[in-house]
């Protein structure tokens, strides 16, 4: 069976913790038109969040991680 290739763009967008959780950043954190967004919303979305369980399996497959 051929080896699976890692989706490189996804590997740059997510981080894997030591316990195996997949963390992503918020869309609101991106730099486009940030001055019109409230400062509390920007602070709230500054912290990474865990990828939802519904897409975690497909994300792991795209990253080439077992589990």
Q: What is the pLDDT of residues 7-19, one digit of tens each?
A: 999 999 999 999 9
Q: What is the pLDDT of residues 11-66, one digit of tens each?
A: 999 999 999 999 999 888 777 888 898 999 899 899 999 999 999 999 999 999 88
Q: What is the pTM of this model?
A: 0.80
The domains of the chain are located at 8-63
User: Which tokens sit at 23?
Assistant: 């963390």
Residue in this structure with the two tokens 């963390």, named with its chain if needed: 23
Statement: 8-63 belongs to CATH 3.90.550.10: no
Q: Are 49 and 17 in contact (CB under 8 A)?
A: no
């Amino acid at each position: 069976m051929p080896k699976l290739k890692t989706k490189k763009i996804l590997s740059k967008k997510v981080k894997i913790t030591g316990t195996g959780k997949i963390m992503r950043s918020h869309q609101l954190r991106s730099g486009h038109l940030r001055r019109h967004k409230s400062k509390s919303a920007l602070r709230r979305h500054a912290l990474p969040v865990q990828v939802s369980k519904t897409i975690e399996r497909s994300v792991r497959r795209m990253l080439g991680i077992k589990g």
